[in-house]
Structure formats: structure tokens, C-alpha cells
Structure 1
Amino acid sequence: GGGSELYRAIVRGMGAAAADAAVALLKDHSAMEIINGHIIPALGRVGEEFEKKRIFLPQLLMSAGAATAAFGQVRATMKDGCGTKGRIILATVRGDIHDIGKNIVKLLLENYGYEVIDLGRDVSCETILKSTQDHNVRLVGLSALMTTTLPAMEQTIKVLRQNLPDCRIMVGGAVLTGEYAKSIGADYFAPDAAGAVRIAEEVFGQP
């Protein structure tokens, strides 16, 4: 995927080119091959460049737009169930101002047919709890990219556990490991956006 037309179009934020490249790939690749082999790696690369301040928000948004254009073409070929597969809340925990990783996860989940309620960044555990209750959500995704905000993540999980024992919680972010996620009481650790989709499919029971 590294050198593909689609990968380059997304990295450069070229929507029309990304859509055309996706159509060309669909001739001899499955939708999943295109998503996992081209779109996700390109978004991952863009996310890394943004984190390292090599590119800035306008480029990031253009790349996300190009990825969405490509998804649009690919999605047209995927069999679409009626309605949403499930509702998921995403939030970056209190004190944490990074949300590029979360935004890529959101884009991907939406393109897989999930309804995503994005609470944004620097979100208090009270807000997360209230939204989860109000919207009757079965899966909450929390992200943290700064080690200093891990206690806030742990606190949020504790509050959700006490009030909503049936709710599943997935966590992700550069500073987390699967082991640490388990130690703070999360049900799932998503190492990347594709991992978050696999978790959603498991929680909502769709193959």
C-alpha cells in the first residue's frame, strides 16, 4: 500500500484522486483489502506526521476528506445492513487535548456502519457517564495520548463500571499497552483504528 496511488492521494489530501484510485483498485481487490492495505496505512501515516508537527490541521483535514472520498467508493460495494450496527461513544479523557487518533477511529467506525457519538477531547468522566446513560450506549472508547492523563482514564473507567456494569470499554492511545489497559479495568485495548473496528464487531456480534 505504501506506494499505491490511493495511499499517495490520501497522504496528499487529494479527494478526487483518492476516489478514482479506490475505484481502480476495486477491479481486483476486495473492499477489506483496500481499507486495510491502503486507506488505514495512509491515515496512520498522516496521523504520525501530524503528531510530529510535520503537517498541520488543514492538511490533516484534507487527508481525512480524501480518505472519506475513497471510503465512499469502497463502501458502495460492501453489502449494507439496514440501519446502524450499533452506537459507540468516543472521547479523549480529561486533560488530554489530542484527538487525531480518536478522529481516525471515528472515521473508520462510521464507515463500517456504526453510529459514533464523539464527545471531543478533554472530556470529564461525568460527561462521559451521562452521555452513555442518555444514549443507552453499549461500547465506550476512551483515548489518551499523554501519560499525565492516564489517571483520568482510570477514573472514568471506575465511574462507568460503578454505574453501568454492562457497558463495554475500549481504550487506545500511544501511551497505552494491553497490559496497562487491563490493569485499569478496560475490557479491550485497541492498538490502532483497525483494532477498534474489530472490537466493535465483537461487542455488537457482527462478523
Structure 2
Amino acid sequence: MDIQKLFKKISEAVIEMEDDLAVELCNKSLELLIPAEETIAEGLVSGMDIVGQLYEEQEYFLPEVLTCSDTLNIGLDILKPHIKTETVDNPIKVVIGVVEGDTHDIGKNLVKIMTESAGFEVHDLGRDVPLQDFIDVAEKVGANFICMSTLMTTTMTGMKTVIDMLKARDIREKYKVMIGGGPISQKFADDIGADAYTVGANEAVKRIKKMALVSVES
């Protein structure tokens, strides 16, 4: 089977919530010796990114998103034991979590998986994270990035609060702040002074690498 077609079918299995098909196709990718992280990124995560877009367009609602995430997790359970994590000297350190008041962590978990497989040192705070914890943990571990997500409009302002707290402590310049989630937009990121906004997990990894490289060069 053509690899790109296989990835497309895996993505469609996630979107269509077809658990058995996801199992069959993920096992097929392993039989073809396709790197697990590539199947996760190009198949499962790409499919979930589309689910996120469908949610934003109100074609899918939370029950559909959660069912799609179940299909995604079934595929991840098959592939994760086969991930070959990059070994990196002085890895990029990322603190990541879902802001206080929100317990929806699908997107955050995808970003965590992709950043870990890219060799980043990831400190996952989980969901419904007290805002001060983002800063306290970042300071404790010497993080380079603070990444926050939410799927709820009512908790979006917590992201601005974290940035304002960084400014109040005069440590804003120590960290790159990246945000994401269903209701988040580039305009919102610009308005609150975030360094980056990304739609999906694959883009998040690319942006972190790009910003880290710029920081080193500057």
C-alpha cells in the first residue's frame, strides 16, 4: 500500500471514529516498518487536527470530538511502544498544560507526544492547571517554553493572566509563550502578547524548533 494513502486512511479512521479500522491500519504501518512517530504525526494527529477544525466550524461537537479521541488513543496504544525518541544534548524544555477551569486535554496530549518524540524535555502539568503553576514549574525546571491550551472560551483569559504575571515578575523575556485550542486565534494571541499560536500538534513542534533556533542565533 502507498504510504501516503495509508496515512490518509488512518486519518479518516480517526475522523470517522472507526476503531477497528484504526487498529488494522496502525498494525499495517508497523508491518511496513514505517516509523511509529511518522504514522502518529501524518496519520493519527493529522486526523485529529481535522477533527479540531470540524469542531471549530461547529460540524462536530464535544461528543464527536471525544469519540474521535478514543479512536486516536487506540491507535496511539499500538504505536507508542515503537516510538524512537530523538536523543538531544541540552534539549528544549517545555512546560505544557490546560489552563485552570478546563479539563479538555486531547490537544495538549497530542502536542506532548509529538514534542517528546522530537527530543524535547516536556513537563506536563495536566489539565485544569492553576495559572501560577505554569510560572512556578517553568522557573523550577529552567524551561524555554510555556505552552497553554484550552477548549473553552470562558478560560481563555487565563492565558493573558499568565503572561501578565510573567511581566509583573519581570521575567517575561525568559520564556516563549505558545497557546492553542479550539477558540484560540492568531488575533487573540497577538492581543494578549503571546509569542506563537498554532492550530495543531505538528505545527506546534515546528514552531518551537523554529523559535528555539532563532533564540540561539540571536
Please classify the TM superposition score into its range, dividing by the shorter chain length.
Answer: 0.7 to 0.9
Q: TM-score, normalised by structure 1?
A: 0.77
Give CA deviations for 1:137-166 in whole Å, capped at 9, x if unaligned: 110101122111122111111112333221
Unaligned segments of structure 1, at least 5 residues = none
Task: Find the aligned partners of 1:32 and 1:111 in 2 and give their Cα distance.
Answer: 7
The offset of 1:114, in angstroms, is: 1.6
The offset of 1:187, in angstroms, is: 0.5
1:17 paired with 2:24, answer yes
Q: 1:37 aligns with which of 27, 37, 42?
A: 42
Task: Find the aligned partners of 1:100 and 1:147 in 2 and give their Cα distance.
Answer: 16
1:64 paired with 2:69, answer no
> Do the aligned partners of residues 68 and 51 (structure 1) sit closer, same or farther apart at CA in structure 2, a change above 3 Å counting?
farther
Aligned residues, how many? Answer: 200
TM-align CA RMSD? 3.3
Partner of 1:94: 100
SS in 2 for 1:141: strand
Which segment is superposed worse, 167-176 or 101-110?
101-110
The offset of 1:62, in angstroms, is: 5.7
Task: Find the aligned partners of 1:115 and 1:145 in 2 and give their Cα distance.
Answer: 24
The offset of 1:205, in angstroms, is: 2.6
> Do the aligned partners of residues 51 and 127 (structure 1) sit closer, same or farther apart at CA in structure 2, a change above 3 Å counting?
farther
Task: Find the aligned partners of 1:117 and 1:151 in 2 and give their Cα distance.
Answer: 22
1:203 paired with 2:211, answer yes
Task: Find the aligned partners of 1:56 and 1:8 in 2 and give their Cα distance.
Answer: 15
Which has more helix, going by share of residues? 2
Unaligned segments of structure 2, at least 5 residues = none
Partner of 1:155: 161
> Do the aligned partners of residues 85 and 72 (structure 1) sit closer, same or farther apart at CA in structure 2, a change above 3 Å counting?
farther
Q: 2:183 aligns with which of 175, 178, 184?
A: 175
Is the CA contact 1:13–1:65 (under 8 Å) kept in the aligned structure 2? yes
Q: TM-score, normalised by structure 2?
A: 0.73
Partner of 1:125: 131
SS in 2 for 1:191: coil
Is the CA contact 2:41–2:114 (under 8 Å) kept in the aligned structure 1? no
The offset of 1:13, in angstroms, is: 4.4
> Do the aligned partners of residues 189 and 121 (structure 1) sit closer, same or farther apart at CA in structure 2, a change above 3 Å counting?
same
1:108 paired with 2:109, answer no
Is the CA contact 1:84–1:115 (under 8 Å) kept in the aligned structure 2? no
Is the CA contact 2:163–2:193 (under 8 Å) kept in the aligned structure 1? yes
Give CA deviations for 1:28-63 in whole Å, capped at 9, x if unaligned: xx8887455323223335666895303657x73563
Partner of 2:63: 53
Q: Percent of counterpart pairs with the same letter? A: 25
Is the CA contact 2:30–2:36 (under 8 Å) kept in the aligned structure 1? no
Is the CA contact 2:23–2:74 (under 8 Å) kept in the aligned structure 1? no
